[in-house]
């Protein structure tokens, strides 16, 4: 699944290694670093990569009546399942039941996402790129992979493989926050949804993640 457009809304800039792009600086942990820890290149505030903020994007999706309706409807489907039903996806399985018993997914609009990391090479420039996108898994499988229900958070260029963990770090941190601090969605001052976001995992294709 390759998309070429990244939504301009909700985009945040993150500082990266200015030479090869081999490291993404954490604004807190790396506040005092003056050079890339991988290649030694001097840090420059202009070298940035842009990433979509997942919480902001999910909020905008939940503000849409149609999407919220899909979340509510699939929740009913999941809740009605019994042990005798065939396995259709993660929400049929025992891992999900265990998470449920621990109090996860208790909110009506709580959702689950999967982070997808695709490595590919541009036919035009031979440059290697990595694309990260989000699949919302807590909606019906028939619409789960459509353009409206998935979104891209970044396209990365350069030597990101050297320390890909540094690129994933901020994303994972934001997902950890979203699983404990719910998103509150309001429209015209009225509350319409409260949602925690749970990350079910990272699917990586063609990228070595250390
Ligand atoms: Zn570097």
Mean pLDDT by 10 residues, the chain (210 residues): 54 95 95 96 95 94 95 92 84 87 92 91 79 94 92 92 94 94 93 95 67
CB burial of residue 29 (10 Å; 0-12, 13-18, 19+): exposed
**Which residues lie near ion ligand 1 (Cβ < 5 Å)?**
17, 20, 22, 36, 38-39, 41
Distance 38 CA to ligand 1 centre (A): 5
Domain ranges for the chain:
53-205
HSE of 80 in the Cβ direction (CA atoms, 13 Å)? 6
Q: Tell me, in angstroms, the distance from the centre of ligand 1 to residue 163's CA.
A: 9
Which H or E run includes 75?
helix 65-79
- Write down the pTM of the prediction: 0.87
pLDDT value at residue 1 = 40
> For position 206, what pLDDT does the model report?
54
pLDDT of residue 172: 93
Measured CA to CA, the distance from residue 180 to residue 188 in angstroms comes to 25
| pLDDT score for 191 | 95
């Amino acid at each position: 699944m390759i998309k070429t457009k990244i939504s301009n809304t909700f985009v945040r800039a993150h500082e990266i290694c200015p030479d090869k792009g081999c490291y993404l600086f954490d604004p807190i942990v790396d506040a005092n670093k003056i050079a890339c820890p991988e290649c030694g290149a001097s840090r420059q505030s202009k070298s940035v990569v842009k990433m979509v903020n997942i919480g902001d994007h999910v909020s905008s999706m939940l503000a849409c009546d149609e999407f919220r309706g899909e979340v509510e409807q699939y929740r009913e489907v999941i809740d009605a399942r019994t042990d005798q039903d065939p396995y259709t996806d993660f929400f049929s399985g025992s891992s999900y039941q265990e998470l449920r018993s621990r109090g996860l997914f208790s909110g009506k609009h709580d959702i689950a996402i999967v982070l997808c990391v695709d490595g590919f090479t541009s036919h035009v420039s031979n440059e290697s790129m990595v694309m990260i996108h989000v699949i919302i898994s807590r909606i019906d499988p028939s619409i789960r992979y459509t353009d409206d229900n998935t979104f891209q958070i970044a396209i990365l260029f350069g030597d990101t493989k050297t320390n890909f963990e540094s690129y994933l770090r901020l994303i994972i941190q934001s997902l950890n926050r979203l699983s404990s601090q719910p998103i509150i969605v309001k429209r015209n001052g009225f509350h319409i949804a409260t949602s925690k976001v749970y990350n079910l995992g990272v699917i990586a294709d063609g990228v070595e993640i250390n």
